[in-house]
Amino acid sequence: MTTEAASTGLQGIPLSEVETSRKDFTSDQEVRWCPGCGDYIVLNAVQGFLPSLGLKRENIVFVSGIGCSSRFPYYLDTYGMHSIHGRAPAIATGLATSRPDLNVWVVTGDGDALSIGGNHLIHAMRRNVNMTILLFNNRIYGLTKGQYSPTSEPGKITKSTPAGSVDHPFNPISLALGAEASFVARSLDSDRAHLTEVLRAAVTHRGTALVEIYQNCPIFNDGAFDVLKDKDESEARLVRLQHGAPVTIGDRTWLHDAHADNPSQAFEISRLDDGTMAHVPVGIFRQVQRPTYDDLVRAQIERSQRTDGDGDLAELLAGRDTWSID
C-alpha cells in the first residue's frame, strides 16, 4: 500500500488514509474579504483542488505575510501561519528544509512580496526551495486602504500618489525569471479552470513554483484587469502559453519551450506584457528541473554525520577558544 505521494514535487509527503472533499479543507472562520474580491475565487479554486492531491491535511502548510491575501491560511482547514510583513518565504524555507514531509505554500500580494518582502522572494526563487508561491497581484495596497504598490502603473493616482505615481513598476514574471525560478506561471482570478490547471502543475513541481494571479480589488482598484476578462477583448490580448505550441504575435511565430534550461526565451515572452495589456501571456513560462535547496542541505548534513558523527550543541556553543578564569 502506498503511503507517500509519488509525484516529484510531493514526494515524501504522507497520503491521506481517507477520501477528502472541499468541505474538509474549509475552516470554520468567517471570510473577511470585501464583496466581489478576487481572493474568493482563488480560495475556492484551492479548496476545490486540494482534495485531489490525496495528501494528509496535517501535512499541508500555508504561510502568509501581511495584506488582504495573507488572511488565506485562516480559511483553509490545514496548518498555517499568518506571519509578518514580507517574511513568508523565509519562514517557508525553514519549514521546507527541516520538514520534507510537508507540502509548503506561500500566499502573498504584490505589496507584501515585491516591496518589503522582495529580498526574501528573490532568494527563495534563486535557491529553488521546494514551495509553491501564490502572488496575488491587484496593483494596489488593499489592506492599508489604497496606496500605490510596486506593480501600479505609472501615473496611478492613489492616496499616497495624489499627483500620480512616478515609479516604474515591477513585472513579477520577469523578476522571477531573472532570479532563475524553476517554475514561473501566470493566471487570472476569473478563469478558474485555467487557474486550477496552473496550480496543479505548480504544486507537483519540485522546487520553487511562483504563480502570479491577476486579482481584482473592487474597492481600491476595481476593473484593473477588465480588458483581459471581457469576451470581446480577451482573445486578442491574452497570449495563452502551452509547452511546444506556437506563439504568434503579429507576423512573428515561435514555439514555446517552457523546459529550456536557458530562461531567455521565457523572459522575452514575459516582456510582451508592457503595461498596456495589448499582449498579456498567461500559462506556464518556465518549468525546469534543478536541485532544490532543501534537498542539498539535507544531503550535506547526512554526509557530515557519516564522516564526523553527530555534533555536540554544547561544545559548538562553547567554541574552541575558551578559557577559565580563577
The pLDDT score that the predictor gives to residue 212 is 99
How many other C-beta atoms lie within 10 A of the C-beta of residue 133?
27
- Range 31-58 average pLDDT: 97
pLDDT at 88 over 70: yes
| CA-to-CA dists, residue 100 to 57, 62, 64, 128, 297, angstroms | 15, 15, 19, 14, 11
pLDDT at 199 over 50: yes
Residue 269 — very low, low, confident or very high, per pLDDT cuts 50/70/90? very high
pLDDT at 2 over 60: no
The pLDDT score that the predictor gives to residue 1 is 47
Calpha distance 305→296 (Å, rounded) = 14
Specify the higher pLDDT residue, 316 or 150.
150
Element (H, E) at 98: helix 88-98
The pLDDT score that the predictor gives to residue 7 is 64
pLDDT at 318 over 90: no
Give the max Cα distance, the chain.
86
- Range 133-148 average pLDDT: 95
Any idea which residue has 475565487 for its cell? Answer: 41
- So where are the chain's domains? 8-291
Calpha distance 320→49 (Å, rounded) = 53
Question: How do 208-214 and 183-188 pair as beta strands?
Answer: parallel
Q: Which three cell numbers stand for residue 43?
A: 480560495
Element (H, E) at 232: helix 231-237
| CA-to-CA dists, residue 34 to 193, 217, 218, 222, angstroms | 23, 9, 8, 12
The pLDDT score that the predictor gives to residue 180 is 97
How open is the CA angle 280-283-286, to the nearest 5 degrees? Answer: 105
The pLDDT score that the predictor gives to residue 320 is 78
Round the average pLDDT of the chain to a whole number and report it.
94
Name, in order, each residue with C-beta under 8 angstroms of 6's C-beta and a sequence gap of 6 or more: none
Residue 13 in contact with residue 4, Cβ under 8 Å?
Answer: yes
Specify the higher pLDDT residue, 249 or 159.
159
Does CATH number 3.40.50.970 belong to domain 8-291? yes
Q: What residues pair up with 183 in beta bridges, in sequence order?
A: 209, 287
Percent of the chain with pLDDT over 70: 98
- Range 46-65 average pLDDT: 97
pLDDT at 3 over 80: no
The pLDDT score that the predictor gives to residue 133 is 99
The pLDDT score that the predictor gives to residue 252 is 86
- Range 75-104 average pLDDT: 97
Q: What is the DSSP letter of 141?
A: B
| CA-to-CA dists, residue 246 to 1, 197, 231, 274, angstroms | 42, 19, 22, 21
pLDDT at 239 over 50: yes
